[in-house]
Amino acid sequence: MKRIFSSIALAVIAAPTLAHETTREVVSQPDAADFIRAEAAVAPIIALIEAEDSQEAVKTAASGSALFASKRAELTSLGGQARNAVEIYGPVERCVLQSRDFTTELRFHLNYVCQHRDLLIQWKFNVDDLPAGMTITNLSFSDTF
């Protein structure tokens, strides 16, 4: 009976340790080339934002992901809000990469700051490395960052 209890106790104690070890091996860091590919996926969107075509920027960003297909109303609203930001804060002068981060080597977080005449706007992008290539899977913007 003591052997069974000891075996169970060891299994319970070892399980979290083994899970932690496995997690550490699974999560790996991307290399510089991965970030370059993620930035390249966002570059056409930034170019459209700088050209003050925010509606097309949102549409283009969403075109690569099947997840956005069911969110047409939200995308139209987001594009309209971005267009309103241009009307309120003035034309976009330029956009610069603010930060880049990752969750794993498969998901990247890119933040850009776009300079309008009267205010800065932050655009956030999640880019996933999917079998079809780097794909924007989430985007948002804010004037309060």
Q: Which of 75, 134, 78, 131 is nearest to 102 (CA)?
A: 134
Residue 8 domain-assigned (yes or no): no
What pLDDT does residue 47 have? Answer: 98
Residue 22 domain-assigned (yes or no): no
What pLDDT does residue 13 have? Answer: 53
What pLDDT does residue 121 have? Answer: 96
- Judge if pTM exceeds 0.75: yes
User: Which tokens sit at 96?
Assistant: 């610069």
What pLDDT does residue 64 have? Answer: 86
**What's the number of CA atoms in the CB half-sphere (13 Å) around residue 37?**
17
Q: What is the pLDDT of residues 19-72, one digit of tens each?
A: 555 555 566 889 999 999 999 999 999 999 999 898 899 999 999 888 887 888
Residues 6+ apart with CB under 8 A from 9: none
Q: What is the pLDDT of residues 123-144, one digit of tens each?
A: 999 999 999 999 999 999 999 9
Residue 26 domain-assigned (yes or no): no
Residue 113 domain-assigned (yes or no): yes
CATH number, domain with residue 117 = 3.10.450.630
What pLDDT does residue 17 have? Answer: 55
Round to whole Å and give the CA distance between 65 and 136. 7
What pLDDT does residue 14 have? Answer: 53
Residue 21 domain-assigned (yes or no): no
What pLDDT does residue 15 have? Answer: 54
Domain count, the chain: 1
What pLDDT does residue 67 have? Answer: 84
Residue 14 domain-assigned (yes or no): no
Report, as an integer, the average pLDDT of 80-92: 92
Round to whole Å and give the CA distance between 88 and 6. 69
Residue 3 domain-assigned (yes or no): no
The residue range of the domain holding 108 is 31-142
Separation in Å, CA 112 to CA 47, 82, 109 = 12, 14, 10
Residue with tokens 């990247």: 108
Residue 129 domain-assigned (yes or no): yes
